[in-house]
Amino acid sequence: MIILSLYLSGGQREFFKRFYTMSKSATLSLGTDNIGKLLFNYATPAIIAMASSSLYHLIDSAFVGHGVGGAAIAGMAITMPIMNIGSAFGAMVGVGAGARISLRLGEGNKAAAERTLCNAVILNIVIGLTIMVLMLSFLDEILELFSGGRASAETLAYAKDFMQIILLGNVTAHLYLGMNDMIRASGNPRKSMAIMLTSVAVNLVLNPLFIFVFHWGIKGSAAATVISQFICFLLTLSHFCSKSTFLRFKREAFRIDWRIIGNILSIGLAPFLMNLCASTVAAFVNTAMLHYGGTGINDVIPREQGGADLYVGAYGIVNRVALLFVMVVQGLNQGMQPIVGYNYGAKNYDRVRKVVFMTIGCGVAIASLGFILGETIPHTIARAFVDSSNGGDEQLLVNAAVQGMRLVLLMFPLVGFQIVVGGFFQYIGKAPLAIFISLTRQLLFLLPLLWILPRSLGAYGVWISMPIADTASIILAFVLFIWQIRKIKQMGLKQQMIQR
C-alpha cells in the first residue's frame, strides 16, 4: 500500500488491504498480539533483505578500493547516478507489477496475477535491452555529462570499464530484481530474502577472486556483480517455472496487454520519480565536487593534488555507508507496514500510535548507531574501502571521506525519524504527503544548496548542504507528524465514545 493509494480507487484499495489479512489468524494477531513481537517478526526479514542490497555496493567499493585504488572508487562514484536511472526503471516495473499482483491475488484472481507477472517480464526485457543499447552506444558522452566534463581521463576510464560490463548484464539485472519483487508480492518474502542473500554471498566470493587472484581490476568487480545477479536470476526463474509454485509462468499469459502495462507503469511512477530525483542529486553532488572540490578554505585536499576526483571517490564512500543504515531503517518501515495498515483500517488507533512511536524509537536508534560510528571511527570505516598504509592519493581519499562522513551524518539520528514518518504516512493512505517529504528534501532544499554553497566553500559546501537539507526536511516531517498524530488521537477518542 506504499504507492497504491495515489492511483487506485477506494474499492481497489480495499482489495489490496485484504491481501495482507487473508488469513483469519494472521488478522487477529495483527490486532491483538504484542506490538514489539509483531514488529520484530515482520521487520527482521525485511531488514535483512534491504541491508543485503546495500551490502552489495559496499562489497564492490571495498574490494575495488583495496585491489585497484582510489581513482577506481571515484570512477564507480561517477557511475552511481547512471546506475540509479536503471534502478528507477527497475523500481517502476517491480513496484508497479508487485502491487498489481498483490491486488489481483487479494481479489482471488490468480489468472490476472499471472498475466501481470508475464507482462512485467516482457516489459523488463524491453526496458533492459533499450537501456543497454542506448547507454553502450553513447557511454562516453553519458559519462562526460554526468561528470560535468571535469573528471580526469583515469577516472573516466575506470567508470567506462565498469559500466560496459554492468550494462551487458542489464537485462538479467532487471529480470532478477523485478521477479524478486514479484516473489515477495506473491506471498514469499522469506524466499525473496534468501535469493537476495545468495546474490550477496556469491558477490562476496567472486569479487576477491576476480580482483586479487585473476587481477581483472574494476572489470572483475563488475563481472562478479553480473554473474551473481545472473545466478539469482536463474533462481527466480526456476521459482516461477516450478509446477509447485502457486503463481507461475503460463504460456498463454505471455501476450502483451497494454492495459496491464499501463497500470504497471502508472502505479510504479512514484518510485520511478523518487529514484530519478536520487540520481539527479548524485549527479549534482559529483558535478559540484569536480567543479569546486579543493577550492574551499576548509577543504582537506588542495585542488592541485587531485582534489576534485578524490572528492568524488570520498562521496562514493560516504554515500554507501549512509545508505546501509538508511536501508536498515527502510526494512524496519516495511515491518511496520502491515501492523499500521491493519490497525488503522480496524480503527485500533491506540495500537497505531504505539507501533509508530516504537518504530520511530528503533529507527532513531539505528540511525544514531550510524551517527556514532561516523563521528567516532570514521578513519577506520574509510580505510575499509582503500589501503592508505602507503600514503599518497589513498590517504588523501581517506581524509576527505572522514570529513564528509562527520558532516553528512551530523543530523542522522533524526533522519531515522524522518524515514519512519514518511513510511507511516504511506501506510495510512497518505502517500502524497510521504512523497512530498522526500522530494522536498531533495529538490526544494538540497539542490539549491548544492548550487549555492560549493561556490564559496568548495567541497565543504557540498558536505554541509546535506545536514542543512536534512534539518529542514526533519522540521517539515515533525510538523506534519504532530498534526496527524493529534488527528488520530481525536479519532481514537471518538471511536471510544461510539463503542460506549
pTM above 0.95, yes or no: no
Tell me whether residue 150 is exposed, middle or buried, using C-beta atoms within 10 angstroms of its C-beta: 0 to 12, 13 to 18, 19 or more: middle
Q: Given a cut of 90, is residue 275 above it in pLDDT?
A: no
CA distance linking residue 25 with residue 497, whole number of Å: 28
What is the pLDDT at residue 183?
81
236 and 215 Cβ atoms separated by less than 8 Å: no
In this predicted model, what pLDDT tens digit does every residue of 288-303 receive, in sequence order? 999 999 899 999 888 7
**Angle, to 10 degrees, between the axis of helix 459-499 and the axis of helix 431-439?**
160
- The count of other CB atoms within 10 Å of the CB of residue 381 is 18
Q: How many CA atoms lie within 13 A of 163 on its CB side?
A: 31
> Do 233 and 175 touch, CB atoms closer than 8 A?
yes
What's the burial of 119, exposed, middle or buried (CB within 10 Å: 0-12/13-18/19+)?
Answer: buried
Note the pLDDT tens digit of each residue in 351-385: 989 999 999 999 999 999 999 999 999 999 999 99
- Per-residue pLDDT for 10 more than 50? no
Kindly state the average pLDDT of the residues 190-211: 90
